[in-house]
Amino acid sequence: MARKISQNNFEWSNWILQYKNLVPLTILYSWMMKIGQFLHTGFYPIFFAYNISLLIGSLVLTLLTLWHKKPQSAALAGLLAIVLPVFYSFIIQVGYTDGASILALSLLIFLFEYNHLNWWKLILLTFVFAYGYLMRPNIIIALVALFIIGLFTYKKQNNIFKLVSKLFIFCFLGIILATSTSKIFDATYHYNANNPKQFPVVHWIYMGLNQEKIGQYNKADRSYTLNHEGFSSAQNADIAGIKNRLLNYRPLTLGLHFINKYGILWHEGTFQTLTDYQKNYIFAPKLFLKYSKLIFLVSQVFSKALISLFLFFLVLELLRKKPIPRNSILLSLLIIFGISLFHTIIWEVKTRYQFMTFFLLFFVGVYAMVEYFEKDNF
Return the pLDDT at 320.
78
Q: What are phi and psi of 282, to 5 degrees?
A: -100, -45
In this prediction, residue 294 has a pLDDT band, given cuts at 50, 70 and 90, of confident
Q: Are 36 and 8 in contact (CB under 8 A)?
A: no
pLDDT at 189 over 70: yes
Name the 3-class secondary structure at 216. Answer: strand
The whole-number average pLDDT for the span 165-170 is 94
**Which of 106-120, 311-325, 334-348 has the lowest average pLDDT?**
311-325
CA 270, CA 357: separation in Å to the nearest integer? 12
C-beta pairs of 316-323 under 8 Å, 24+ apart in sequence: 316/368, 316/372, 316/377, 317/368, 317/371, 317/372, 320/372, 320/375
pLDDT at 376 over 60: no
pLDDT at 11 over 90: no
Amino acid at position 56, single letter: I
248 vs 266, residue with greater confidence: 248
Return the pLDDT at 327.
83
The whole-number average pLDDT for the span 47-70 is 92
**pTM > 0.85: yes or no:** yes
pLDDT at 34 over 60: yes
**Which of 189-193, 276-280, 343-347 has the lowest average pLDDT?**
276-280
Which of these, 367, 359, 300, lies nearest to 60 by C-alpha position?
359
CA 23, CA 36: separation in Å to the nearest integer? 20
Residues in the chain: 378
In this prediction, residue 202 has a pLDDT band, given cuts at 50, 70 and 90, of very high
